[in-house]
Each structure stands twice: as C-alpha cells, then as structure tokens.
Amino acid sequence: MEIFLDKKAVKQIRLSAQDAIEEGDTETLREDIIDAFTEEQVEEIERRLDSGDFFEFLTELLDEWSGDDIDELFELIETQLGDVSIDLKYELAEGGDDDGKEADVDDDEDVDDDDDLDEEEEEEEEKKDRGDY
C-alpha cells in the first residue's frame, strides 16, 4: 500500500518536529503526525500493526528518534511504515532537498506568464498572436 502526504502535511510535521527539538516535548509532534494522515490511512495502518494502535506506534517511534534531526524522523517514519508494507510518499516542504522540485509547480499552470519566457519563446508567442503561423 502507498500513502501520500501532501506538502502542507510535511511542512506541519517539520514545524512541529522543530518545536519538539527546541522544547523537548513530543506530545504535540505525535498529534501533528496523526493529523497528517487521513482517518482511512490511520485505519489501514492500524490494521497492519501488531499492536493495532497508531498512537502507540508513534510513541515507540518517537522514543527511538534522537530528537535532534528532522530528516531522521522522516526516515524513521518511512522505515517503520515500510516494515508493515506501507510505502510513504510525500512532497518535500520548502527547504527540503532536490527531490521536492515537483512540489514547487504553481497551481495556475494555465496562466500565461510572458515574464518567464526567454526572447525566442516570446517571439514565437507574438507570431502566434498575429496569426503568422
């Protein structure tokens, strides 16, 4: 099974993890991780867990986490879910590595943005607009 977390969920987990690092408290982080998943996803995860309890799963995961590296936290989540045959996919929040380039695509893809066109493309657009083709 594959679970996808959107950019907003990833960003919330990252912010919460940063707070947990600074404050030393993982309770809010655990809740924010749970909130990042839909009810259906949580139910599917719980079906696959020996304990059947996602909250307990996250408690053990956070106990294993060193508490000082956000990327390590995501690796732990991926690994632990992978152990129960769940492949976690996500868009990286801004500031992540190059794998998140697709996450930067604008929602307004149909908007014609001449500022982004180089001179050659601009000339082609002008010819099309004049009907030279």
Domain membership of residue 107 (yes or no) is no
Could you tell me the pLDDT band of residue 123, with boundaries at 50, 70 and 90?
low
Q: What is the pLDDT of residue 50?
A: 87
Domain membership of residue 123 (yes or no) is no
Domain membership of residue 2 (yes or no) is yes
- In Å, what is the CA distance from 5 to each residue of 26, 38, 77, 90, 98? 20, 9, 12, 5, 17
For residues 13-35, average pLDDT: 94
Domain membership of residue 84 (yes or no) is yes
C-alpha span between 123 and 111 (Å, rounded):
18
At residue 41, does pLDDT exceed 70?
yes
Q: Which one has a higher pLDDT value, 3 or 98?
A: 3
Q: What is the pLDDT of residue 101?
A: 32
**Which residues touch 106 (CB under 8 Å, ≥6 apart)?**
none
The C-alpha angle 7, 85, 71, rounded to 5 degrees, equals 40
User: What is the number of structural domains in the chain?
Assistant: 1
Domain membership of residue 116 (yes or no) is no
Domain membership of residue 50 (yes or no) is yes
Domain membership of residue 100 (yes or no) is no
**Burial of 67 per CB tally in 10 Å (0-12, 13-18, 19+):** middle
For residues 18-36, average pLDDT: 93
Q: Compute the mean pLDDT over every residue in the chain, rounded to the nearest whole number.
A: 79
Place of tokens 């996250």: 58
Structural domain for 56, as ranges: 1-91
Q: What is the pLDDT of residue 21?
A: 94
C-alpha span between 115 and 120 (Å, rounded):
12
Q: What is the pLDDT of residue 126?
A: 63
For residues 42-56, average pLDDT: 92
Q: Which one has a higher pLDDT value, 92 or 68?
A: 68
Q: Which one has a higher pLDDT value, 21 or 122?
A: 21
pLDDT in tens, 89-122: 987 655 444 343 333 333 333 434 444 445 565 6
Domain membership of residue 96 (yes or no) is no
For residues 61-68, average pLDDT: 92
